[in-house]
Amino acid sequence: MKFDHFETKIPSLGEPKVISPIQKFCMLNRYGQECEKNFVPDTDQVLVHDSLEYIENLAPGEKPIALEMAGPRSHIYFDPSKVRCAIATCGGLCPGTNDVIRAIVLELYHLYGVRHTYGVRYGFQGFIPKYGHDLVDLTPEAVANIHTFGGTVLSTSRGPQDTVEIVDALDRINIRILFLIGGDGTLRAAQEICKEIARRELRIGVIVIPKTIDNDIPLVSRSFGFDTAVEVATEAIHAAHTEAIGSPNGIGLVKLMGRFSGFIAATATLALREVNYVLIPEEDFDLDGEWGLLANLECRLKERRHALIVVAEGAGERYFTEENRERDPSGNLKPGNIGHFLQDAIRAYFKQRQIEVNLKYIDPSYLIRSRPANYNDRIYCGFLGQNAVHAGMAGKTAMLVSRWHSHYVHIPIEATMGRRKEVELDSPLWRSVLESTGQPPLKKL
């Protein structure tokens, strides 16, 4: 993924002068031996581009783009005995959200000694008085088992809310660190909240833990929940394959999440390697004509008697007009229903050619969204939550926690705005998909 130069310095509420309480816990290990305090200075950084070619092509005097390393600081900004924190979850459901909430609460309570952490119900609605949502007292006992459940114990909502009212609520209940768990819309809202906080000259930190099951936020190598999504997606693909080979001219059609990026579809395909066609938003395709999907599919059925198609929800957008698409509560244009569109098109094509086909359509989206995280995502969520707490207590703000080149890092919210991570068509990922499926070009070159 290529990036133009951007600002990587993390905004701060002020100079951290409070000695971190973590020192008290790190003096001795379990055997009574002294252990090193592994604090991370702000000068520890991770290169955005780590290729030799990039380094060699830097202009004389030009510094490479680098991200601030995440982790505990030796001095923090907030006094743990006085600080109040809040957590809100926004946007759609995603496996692992409860794990992140739990990690934040336990880290604040046990490591820093923070005794006042509140959960905000129903996303940004929870800040607005007219909705009447009460805060939830998040104690270690309250979050002890939430990681075993899917969804979010705080519930969520979509749609914009008044930024002024949100900051009014933060100031009124004396919240000093706000942890937001959400995706692209949440990042935009967080940026506006930070601007309003700065305008009022308040000392409130805003830390975002990026949540997008589609894995499409830039500078985030893998978003939490993605691993679980791929795992469940492979179950749907396997079921569709079984249906396809179980009848003459059987066709399995699986629609997976991926409004703008086809990472789930591509990765799940490689996990199972039974798929014949993968349609993603990044790669245009024709439906009709000699090079189109339907003609290719007919040839495939003549040769092998079955076929399996995986399509990301945002694929084939040129087949839908703005008039026949809806908008979500945030005002974003929803993708057309490519699954039903393909299902109808395939059936109509083969009916016209008097070829009987047995098509089975599977859309596991809500099964994926509502699942508890698998063990891999749970571990990842724990690290994200812990590093979000370290950043918040150190007085960092207007940032998100990410993993980049196997390191946890801090990224300014502004650095992610106006960008989206997509499957690169010349990448090893997509080349491997084409090699695995044997999929020909579905558009005349």
Q: What is the pTM of this model?
A: 0.92
The position carrying tokens 């290719």 is: 296
pLDDT digits (tens, 9 = 90+) for 337-384: 999 999 999 999 999 999 999 999 999 999 999 999 999 999 999 999
Distances (CA, A) of 11 to 7, 72, 194, 210: 11, 17, 10, 18
The verdict on residue 298 lying in a domain is yes
pLDDT digits (tens, 9 = 90+) for 236-262: 999 999 999 999 999 999 999 999 999
Instruction: Say if residue 387 is in the same domain as residue 431.
Output: no
Measured between its terminal Cα atoms, the distance across the chain in Å is 24
Q: Which residues are catalytic?
A: 214
Looking at residue 213, which CATH number applies to its domain? 3.40.50.450
The verdict on residue 9 lying in a domain is no
CA distance 394 to 308: 51
Closest C-alpha to 423, from 218, 211, 262: 262
Confidence of residue 33 (pLDDT cuts 50, 70, 90): low
C-alpha radius of gyration, the chain, whole number: 24
> What pLDDT sits at residue 55?
79
The verdict on residue 75 lying in a domain is yes
Distances (CA, A) of 66 to 7, 388, 426: 9, 19, 25
pLDDT digits (tens, 9 = 90+) for 56-90: 788 887 888 899 999 999 999 999 999 999 999 99
Looking at residue 253, which CATH number applies to its domain? 3.40.50.460
Instruction: Say if residue 339 is in the same domain as residue 353.
Output: yes
129-144 average pLDDT score? 96
87-106 average pLDDT score? 97
Instruction: Say if residue 307 is in the same domain as residue 397.
Output: no
Instruction: Say if residue 336 is in the same domain as residue 284.
Output: yes
The verdict on residue 102 lying in a domain is yes
Q: Provide the β-strand partners of residue 180.
A: 88, 208
pLDDT digits (tens, 9 = 90+) for 193-227: 999 999 999 999 999 999 999 999 999 999 999 99
The verdict on residue 217 lying in a domain is yes
Instruction: Say if residue 204 is in the same domain as residue 238.
Output: no
Closest C-alpha to 294, from 350, 251, 367: 350
Instruction: Say if residue 169 is in the same domain as residue 239.
Output: no
CA distance 258 to 15: 41
Question: Phi-psi region for residue 331, left (φ > 0), alpha (ψ -120 to 50) or beta?
Answer: left
Instruction: Say if residue 50 is in the same domain as residue 165.
Output: yes
> What pLDDT sits at residue 330?
59
What domain count does the chain have? 2
Instruction: Say if residue 219 is in the same domain as residue 277.
Output: no
| Structural domain range at position 183 | 18-223+373-404
CA distance 304 to 286: 22
Question: Phi-psi region for residue 392, left (φ > 0), alpha (ψ -120 to 50) or beta?
Answer: alpha
Q: How many helices (H) and strands (E) does the chain have?
A: 13, 15
Instruction: Say if residue 159 is in the same domain as residue 243.
Output: no
The verdict on residue 442 lying in a domain is no
Instruction: Say if residue 23 is in the same domain as residue 107.
Output: yes
Instruction: Say if residue 237 is in the same domain as residue 307.
Output: yes
The verdict on residue 417 lying in a domain is no
| DSSP code string of 190-214 | HHHHHHHHHHHT---EEEEEE--TT
> What pLDDT sits at residue 32?
63
One-letter-per-residue 3-state SS of 99-110: HHHHHHHHHHHH
> What pLDDT sits at residue 36?
61
Element (H, E) at 347: helix 338-352
Instruction: Say if residue 432 is in the same domain as residue 328.
Output: yes
The verdict on residue 6 lying in a domain is no
Give residues with Cβ within 8 angstroms of 103, minimum separation 6.
381, 382, 383, 384, 385, 386, 389
